[in-house]
Amino acid sequence: MLNFYRLRQDYLSFKGTERLDLINRLSTNEVNSLEKFGTCKTILTSDKGRIIDLLTLYNLGDIIFVSCSFNNAEPVVAHLDKYTIMDDFTVKNLSGTHETILFTGNSSAEFVSRFAGINTGSADDKNVFCYKRS
């Protein structure tokens, strides 16, 4: 049986030499050691320890691609801008530019391959793949 889910999320990108250091200071997890192509989750908190959002960080090398809660990108950006004074850090709101659809089931790789015209490999070879709509 084939199932699919549209994941409602907003997306951001972090750039600058201090991108991990700033997030490390403003969130709950240690992210400075996040390796290239690594991923981790961290909770962005206010100065009083209140939760702003749960962020999922994807280290793509020159940028950190970030997912956050749907319709919460602007508060996250505002919070980060508040604490970016002398840091080499820029944040860009990518809301509305990316979509995430999760396909599950025995024939999900075959379905995506036929539907989108993408060679996803066999289900045994590849559990995750990315597709960018042009």
- 64 and 117 share one domain: no
Residue 52 lies in a domain: yes
Residue 63 lies in a domain: yes
Residue 1 lies in a domain: no
Number of domains in the chain: 2
Residue 121 lies in a domain: yes
- 66 and 110 share one domain: no
- 80 and 17 share one domain: yes
Cα–Cα distance for residue pair 42/73, rounded to 1 Å: 15
Answer yes or no: are the C-beta atoms of 126 and 31 closer than 8 Å.
Answer: no
Q: Stretch 61-87: mean pLDDT, rounded? A: 94
Give the pLDDT of residue 110: 79
Range 25-34, long-range pairs (CB < 8 A, 24+ positions):
25/83, 26/79, 26/80, 26/83, 27/55, 31/57, 34/59, 34/64
- 82 and 107 share one domain: no
DSSP, collapsed to helix, strand or coil, labels residue 20 as helix
Band (pLDDT 50/70/90 cuts) for residue 54 is very high
Range of the domain at 126: 99-134
Does the pLDDT of residue 121 top 70, yes or no? no
Does the pLDDT of residue 71 top 90, yes or no? yes
pLDDT digits 0-9 by tens, 78-115: 999 999 989 999 999 998 887 888 878 877 777 877 77
Does the pLDDT of residue 63 top 60, yes or no? yes
- 103 and 50 share one domain: no
Give the pLDDT of residue 127: 45
- 129 and 114 share one domain: yes
Residue 108 lies in a domain: yes
